[in-house]
Amino acid sequence: MKVVGSGWGAGQNSGEGDAREAADVLSLCSLTAGSKLFGIDTRAIREVLGKGSLNRVPLAPAYVGGVIAYRGEVVTAVSLRALLGLEAAAGKSCVLVLDGDADEERFGLMVDGVGGVVMVDRRLAAANPSTLDEASKALFCGAYRTDDGLLVQLNPERLRPSRLAETGLFGQPARIRGAAIDRPLSERMSNDQGE
């Protein structure tokens, strides 16, 4: 394991100092989308499923990459590429299953690739720049400089499908003949009859 930006573990055995420094170390799973490097707290990851095919969901927002069967459950997978405004990947994507809180369901995160575990010093996190667009601010919670470049930390709670829908930043619901499917059925029918 590698600690980025810290002297943690470098022969310091002061007991109290080690405990304090250990509390400042965060374990991130590195992953990629396009040419960008991201990290997500390993405590939020239930399982890495590897590359696989998902079942598409008709009329779902673009950020919903599909659904996948996972241990007797149907899990919605969010596409990180779609959230970043990148084109869909040509091949299969890796899926990480993320655990929710006790009262929230699990969900998946589709990424191009999964790397290793990177240990970072929380004290060296750079805040999101003020020039970052609103959609990126909704997803990112800081960044770390690594030997491989900038590693942007993702907040798993902000990636939850229900939270993405609440923000309204990641696309509108699918449309049927120009009518938003989230309008009441009676309103859609009266408009469709008038066409």
Residues 71-100 have a mean pLDDT of 89
Among 77, 72, 107, smallest CA distance to 92 is for 77
Residue 60 to residue 175: CA distance in whole angstroms? 9
pLDDT tens figures, 185-194: 445 444 444 4
Residue 162 to residue 154: CA distance in whole angstroms? 16
Query: What pTM did the predictor assign?
Result: 0.76
Token pair 């009859």 in the structure block, residue: 193
Whether pLDDT at 113 is above 50 = yes
Residue 117 to residue 29: CA distance in whole angstroms? 5
Domains of the chain, residue spans: 3-193
* pLDDT confidence tier of residue 16, bands split at 50, 70 and 90: low
Q: Are 3 and 10 in contact (CB under 8 A)?
A: no
Assign domain 3-193 to its CATH architecture. Answer: Beta Barrel (2.40)
* pLDDT confidence tier of residue 177, bands split at 50, 70 and 90: very low
